[in-house]
Chains A and B, each alone.
Chain A
Amino acid sequence: MEKKKVKELKVSAIENGTVIDHIPPSAVFKVIRILKLEAFEDMVLFATNLESKKYGKKGIIKVSGRFFEPQELNKISLVAPHASIIEIRDFQVASKKIVETPNQVNGIVKCFNPNCITNKEQVRAKFTVVDKEDTRLKCHYCEKITTRETMEFF
């Protein structure tokens, strides 16, 4: 309990908003980009390479005054499959859940194949998630597999 308190203090609390915890350190900046927090005008706090009992190291992001749609959270799961989403209201935890990798990913990720119709014409990219743990997405059109390494977001 004592230790947890010290860790929390590394990133100060927010009154209202969303805490995204248990992000792999390598994915913290990706999550910031995916959620377009670079352009966000209220307070955003983040830290990375914090100690985590579960994962060794982790990152955390706290976004003040902002709650996210499930569609936006789906995007996070592709780079941070075990992230927890904590909604804070009045400094209290209002809800807590783990992100879920969806079965379908539509209009979020670009197909890595430059010769895919989705990169040539105005066709919305659609994928089936064939491996949730390793995040492997099979393109509905060209049938090629986009992996976490080749993944780019719109």
Chain B
Amino acid sequence: MKNKSLVSINDYSKEEQLSILELAAEFEKKPVQNILQDYVIASLFFEPSTRTRLSFESAVNRLGGKIVGFSEASNTSVKKGESLRDTILTVANYSDLIVMRNPVEGSARFASEISPVPIINAGDGANQHPTQTLLDLYSIQKTQGTLDNLHVAMVGDLKYGRTIHSLVIALCNYNTTFHLVSPVELKLPSSVKMHIKERKLAYHQYTEVEDVIPNADVLYMTRIQRERFSDPLEYERIKNSYNLSYEMIQNTKENFRVLHPLPRVNEININVDKSPKAYYFEQALNGVFVRQALIASILGLK
């Protein structure tokens, strides 16, 4: 995977994805290693982010690397009207690898085509967020002991949730049965469903989360994202569609786990946190190991 940009999850084959997960497990055992001391990583966040940016920066710091970049575009040349093209070509001079989040869809693919250094897409609008997918796969594998033949329920904003789109596509490699729970307005788009159909995998659609809990191995919750709605009234109407509580997950399978890419709003009651089946904070920690593995692979250090 040396020098291979990661823009969409399918840029990496199943074998490449699994090798990242394997390497992530190594970093989990030994997260502090001085392998990046001669490297500068650019972290370009044109849009705010807490977890993704900090976990990337934490991953680099724990490996002894240096970071240059910005956490919002407002105090950069972008504000002066600089094109993404020029920003990337400039920053590529200063770094060995660029991690980028940008609200414009397709911006990461474009950047990867013009940049002389590899690009890691840390989210391009509502399109792709492949490092989240890798950490989700890692979390599923770790909690279930396998990625194969699982019943995965996905709940919330399936239409605009980019983590959902990438995860669905990735799980199509593992004979997953999909249980898709969303308000009618936020159903999984046909462009993503196409992948499930191509692999002839089973999927079921629901509007109530109660219907999927008893049979699920993994319950992947997502937030209804305010920023994806142009109409505030529509957001108000559907924002409280789901609220998972401690009581609701009492009669679940032994291996059942609740995952969430975070941040959550009110789709998971905080009383779920005390359940051993709540896994979302560990999931966020896994993001550091997976990103360490990815950076080390792309720079050819592992």
Q: How many angstroms between the C-alpha atoms of A144 and B107 in the bound complex?
A: 13
* In the assembled complex, B83 has its CB within 8 A of some CB on chain A: yes
A143 and B128 within 8 A (CB): yes
Docked Cα-Cα span, A116 to B85, in Å, equals: 14
A141 and B109 within 8 A (CB): yes
Nearest chain A CB to B194's CB is how many angstroms away?
7
The A interface is mostly helix, strand or loop, or mixed, namely loop
B183-203: which have CB < 8 Å to A?
190-191, 194
Docked Cα-Cα span, A130 to B127, in Å, equals 18
Instruction: Give the docked Cα–Cα distance between A138 and B16 (Å).
Output: 25
**Which residues from B are CB-within-8-Å of A69?**
none
> Which stretch (B26-34, B98-106, B205-213, B251-259) binds chain A?
B98-106
Q: Are B191 and A115 in contact (CB under 8 A)?
A: no
- Nearest CB in chain B: distance from A23 CB, A: 27
The total of chain B residues at the interface (CB under 8 A) is 19
Partner of A116, one of B8, B106, B128: B106
* B110 proximal to A (CB < 8 A): yes
* Contact flag A120-B104 (CB < 8 Å), given A143-B8, A145-B191: yes
Flag whether B73 is at the interface (Cβ < 8 A): no
Establish whether residues B190 and A145, one from each chain, have CB atoms under 8 Å apart when the complex forms: yes
One digit per residue, 1 when the CB lies within 8 angstroms of any chain B CB and 0 when it does not, for chain A 121-146 equals 11100000010000000111111110
Tell me, in angstroms, the Cα distance from A36 to B115 when the chains sit together. 36
Check A123 against B110 for contact (C-beta < 8 Å).
yes
Of A111, A115, A121, A130, the contact of B85 (CB 8 Å cutoff): A121
Looking at the assembled complex, report how far the CB atom of B5 sits from the nearest CB atom of chain A, in whole angstroms: 14
The CA-CA distance from A113 to B104 in the complex, in Å, is: 10
Among the listed B85, B106, B190, which residue makes an inter-chain contact with A141, where contact means beta carbons less than 8 Å apart? B106
Instruction: List residues 114-147 of chain B with CB under 8 A from any CB of chain A.
Output: 124-128
Q: Are A115 and B190 in contact (CB under 8 A)?
A: no
In angstroms, Cα B128 to Cα A142, docked, is: 9
Using Cβ atoms and an 8 Å threshold, which residues of chain B touch A94? none
Q: How far is the CB of A114 from chain B (nearest CB, A)?
A: 10
CB distance from A94 to the nearest CB of B (A): 41
Could you tell me if A141 and B191 are in contact, using CB atoms closer than 8 angstroms? no
Given A121-B83, A142-B127, also A113-B190 (CB < 8 A):
no
**Looking across the interface, which residue of chain A has its beta carbon closest to that of B102?**
A117
- Output the least CB separation between B196 and chain A (Å): 15
A77 CB within 8 Å of chain B: no
Chain A proximity mask over B57-95: 1 for CB below 8 Å, otherwise 0: 000000000000000000000000001110000000000
Which residue numbers of B lie inside 8 Å of A, CB to CB?
8, 83-85, 103-107, 109-110, 124-128, 190-191, 194
Cross-chain pairs A/B with CB under 8 angstroms, 8 sampled: A111-B106, A115-B105, A115-B125, A120-B107, A141-B106, A142-B106, A142-B124, A144-B127
The 7 closest A-B pairs by CB, nearest first: A141-B106, A142-B105, A142-B106, A117-B106, A145-B191, A117-B107, A141-B109
Given contacts A140-B106, A141-B109, A145-B191, 11 further A-B contacts (CB under 8 A): A115-B104, A115-B126, A116-B106, A117-B84, A120-B104, A121-B84, A121-B110, A122-B85, A130-B194, A141-B110, A143-B105
